[in-house]
Chain A
Amino acid sequence: KAGVTQTPRYLIKTRGQQVTLSCSPISGHRSVSWYQQTPGQGLQFLFEYFSETQRNKGNFPGRFSGRQFSNSRSEMNVSTLELGDSALYLCASSLERARDEKLFFGSGTQLSVL
């Protein structure tokens, strides 16, 4: 079974541009979460989707948005990029949203904003 696939793997943008990141979850998984990872800051929660519905949203500005499609694939968009948005963006999927559900992470998209 294929793992979580994130594209692109690397991305370089300039300030003010917008970017769309894609995530394909493990087949059969209906829950997708997005996290931002920066050195020393751990994994900061961005969004959580389940069956196309946003279940939770983290404490990020409105420039960060996301969505989930009927096939469970998910995208996140960042508009008007800032230098501070440079980070590794991780997507994770799980079957459901059970208490003991473990997340399966993709390798991430490394975004650099110049």
Chain B
Amino acid sequence: GQSLEQPSEVTAVEGAIVQINCTYQTSGFYGLSWYQQHDGGAPTFLSYNALDGLEETGRFSSFLSRSDSYGYLLLQELQMKDSASYFCAVRSPFSPLVFGKGTRLSVIA
């Protein structure tokens, strides 16, 4: 089976940078995804990493180290609207997308 660990809560200041870590255990591995969910809203896709390294999309970046079974989501120039829950998820052969329990990010002024 698969298991993922990520911090339950993170607080950061507006304009700052925050990193949300995710470690995973899985038999077989295709890639690591990140989703964002605002309160009362639907989860939305942010990024996908299949290979080691950093993927950048605007203010958001995602990193993967397959050898360490570790990844992170980096949010720069934080805005109040970034306050949300962030989920990492793994895709493995013959398995559905499995999500972590989520990290609740609070951006404060």
Contact = CB atoms under 8 A, between A and B. Distances in A.
Contacts of B94: 56
Given A48-B96, A99-B31, A99-B91, A42 B42 contact: no
Interface in B48-93: 48, 50, 87, 91
Contact of A43 (B45, B48, B99): B99
Interface residues of B, number: 23
Contacts, number: 54
A102 B98 contact: no
B91 A103 contact: no
Contacts of A25: none
A55 interface: yes
B16 to A, nearest CB: 25
Interface of B: 8, 30-31, 33, 35, 41-45, 48, 50, 87, 91, 94-102
